[in-house]
Structure 1
Amino acid sequence: MSAHTATADRPLTVLLGPETYPPDVNGAAQFAHRLARGLHEQGHRVHIVCARPGPGPSSVADDDGVVEHRLRSHRAFTHPYFRLCFPWQVAGEIRRVLDEVRPDVVHVQCHYIIGRLLVREAGRRGIRTVGTNHFVPENLEPFLPFPAWVLNRYRAVSWRDMVRVFGACDVVTAPTPLAVDDMRRNGFPDTVLAVSNGIRIADYEAHDGERRQPAGHPTVLFAGRLAVEKNVDVLIEAFSMLPAELDARLELVGDGEQRPALEKLARALGVAQRVRFLGYVPDEDLRAAYLRADVFCQPGTAELQSLVTLEAMAASRPVVLADARALPHLADDGVNGWLFTPGDAQDLARKLALVLGAPTAERRRMGRESRRKVAQHSFPRTLETFLRLYRGEHAEPARARAAGPRRIRTRLASLVR
Structure 2
Amino acid sequence: MPSPTEGLPHTVSTTDRTAPLRILIGCDTFLPDVNGAARFAERLAAGLVQRGETVHVVAPSIRHNLTGTFVENIEGEQLTVHRWASWRWYPHDWLRFVLPWRARGYARKLLDAVRPDVIHIQSHIVIGRALAIEGSKRGIRIVATNHVMPENVLDFTLLPERAKQAFVRWGWRDADRVLKLASAVTTPTQRAADFLERNTHRRNVRPVSCGLRASNYTADLTDRSENKLVFVGRVTLEKEIDVILRALTRLDPELNATFKIVGDGDQRKQLEKLANELGVSSRVTFTGRVSDEELRASLTEASIFVIASVAELQSIATMEAMASGLPVVAADAMALPHLVHDGENGFLFQPGNDRELAERIEKILRMPRDEYLRMQHASLDTVKVHDIDRTLDTFEALYRDEPIPG
- Please, what TM-score do these two structures have when normalized by structure 2? 0.94
Deviation at 1:34, TM superposition (A): 0.7
Q: Are 1:363 and 2:372 matched, yes or no?
A: yes
User: Following superposition, which runs of at least 4 residues in structure 1 exceed 4 angstroms of deviation?
Assistant: 210-214
Query: What does residue 357 of structure 2 align with?
Result: 348
Q: Are 1:3 and 2:16 matched, yes or no?
A: no
Aligned counterpart in structure 2 of residue 28 of structure 1, from 37, 40, 53: 37
Query: What does residue 409 of structure 1 align with?
Result: none
Deviations 1:302-334 (A, max 9, x none): 100000000000111100000111001111221
* Superposition pairs of residues 176-191 of structure 1, within 5 angstroms: 176-191=189-204
Query: What does residue 244 of structure 1 align with?
Result: 253
Q: Is the 8 A contact 2:56 2:80 kept in 1?
A: yes
Question: Hey, what's the Cα distance between the residues in 2 that align with 1:212 and 1:137?
Answer: 43
Q: Is the 8 A contact 2:124 2:179 kept in 1?
A: yes
Query: What does residue 280 of structure 1 align with?
Result: 289
Query: What does residue 27 of structure 2 align with?
Result: 18
- Please, what TM-score do these two structures have when normalized by structure 1? 0.91
* Superposition pairs of residues 294-333 of structure 1, within 5 angstroms: 294-333=303-342
For 1:133, the aligned partner's letter is N
Q: Is the 8 A contact 1:105 1:127 kept in 2?
A: yes
Of 227-236 and 53-62, more deviation after overlay is shown by 53-62
SS in 1 for 2:105: helix
Question: Hey, what's the Cα distance between the residues in 2 that align with 1:200 and 1:182?
Answer: 27
Question: Hey, what's the Cα distance between the residues in 1 that align with 2:163 and 2:221?
Answer: 53
Query: What does residue 108 of structure 1 align with?
Result: 121
Q: Is the 8 A contact 1:213 1:292 kept in 2?
A: no
Q: Which has the bigger relative contact order, CA under 8 A and spacing at least 6? A: 1
Aligned counterpart in structure 2 of residue 338 of structure 1, from 347, 353, 362: 347
Q: Is the 8 A contact 1:45 1:66 kept in 2?
A: no
Query: What does residue 53 of structure 2 align with?
Result: 44
Question: Hey, what's the Cα distance between the residues in 2 that align with 1:16 and 1:392?
Answer: 17
Deviations 1:39-83 (A, max 9, x none): 111111110111101223201111253111100111113211111
Question: Hey, what's the Cα distance between the residues in 1 that align with 2:108 and 2:129?
Answer: 12
For 2:334, the aligned partner's letter is R
For 2:11, the aligned partner's letter is A
Question: Hey, what's the Cα distance between the residues in 1 that align with 2:393 and 2:221?
Answer: 33
Deviations 1:307-365 (A, max 9, x none): 00000001111000001110011112211110001011111111111111112221111
Give unmatched runs, 5+ long, in structure 1.
395-414
Deviations 1:143-172 (A, max 9, x none): 122222211111111111111110110000
**TM-aligned CA distance change 1:43 to 1:353, over 3 Å:** same
Deviation at 1:96, TM superposition (A): 1.1
Question: Hey, what's the Cα distance between the residues in 2 that align with 1:337 and 1:51?
Answer: 38
Deviations 1:190-244 (A, max 9, x none): 31100000011111134xxx88695x42111101111000000000000111011
Query: What does residue 411 of structure 1 align with?
Result: none
**TM-aligned CA distance change 1:311 to 1:184, over 3 Å:** same
Query: What does residue 175 of structure 2 align with?
Result: 162
SS in 1 for 2:34: coil
Query: What does residue 398 of structure 1 align with?
Result: none
Query: What does residue 405 of structure 1 align with?
Result: none
Deviation at 1:4, TM superposition (A): 4.7
Question: Hey, what's the Cα distance between the residues in 2 that align with 1:186 and 1:56?
Answer: 35
Q: Is the 8 A contact 1:116 1:165 kept in 2?
A: yes
Question: Hey, what's the Cα distance between the residues in 1 that align with 2:221 and 2:178?
Answer: 50
Question: Hey, what's the Cα distance between the residues in 2 that align with 1:307 and 1:298?
Answer: 12
Question: Hey, what's the Cα distance between the residues in 1 that align with 2:127 and 2:401?
Answer: 23
Cα-Cα RMSD: 1.5
Query: What does residue 209 of structure 2 align with?
Result: 196
Question: Hey, what's the Cα distance between the residues in 1 that align with 2:164 and 2:206?
Answer: 28
Question: Hey, what's the Cα distance between the residues in 2 that align with 1:10 and 1:362?
Answer: 50
Q: Is the 8 A contact 1:132 1:173 kept in 2?
A: yes
Q: Are 1:132 and 2:145 matched, yes or no?
A: yes
SS in 2 for 1:140: helix
Deviation at 1:138, TM superposition (A): 1.8
Query: What does residue 266 of structure 2 align with?
Result: 257
Query: What does residue 399 of structure 1 align with?
Result: none
Query: What does residue 400 of structure 1 align with?
Result: none
Query: What does residue 75 of structure 1 align with?
Result: 88
Question: Hey, what's the Cα distance between the residues in 2 that align with 1:105 and 1:81?
Answer: 29
**TM-aligned CA distance change 1:4 to 1:248, over 3 Å:** closer
**TM-aligned CA distance change 1:350 to 1:213, over 3 Å:** closer
Query: What does residue 403 of structure 1 align with?
Result: none
Deviation at 1:382, TM superposition (A): 0.3
Deviation at 1:386, TM superposition (A): 0.3
Q: Is the 8 A contact 1:212 1:291 kept in 2?
A: no
Deviation at 1:88, TM superposition (A): 2.6
For 1:334, the aligned partner's letter is G
Q: Is the 8 A contact 2:92 2:266 kept in 1?
A: no
SS in 1 for 2:260: strand
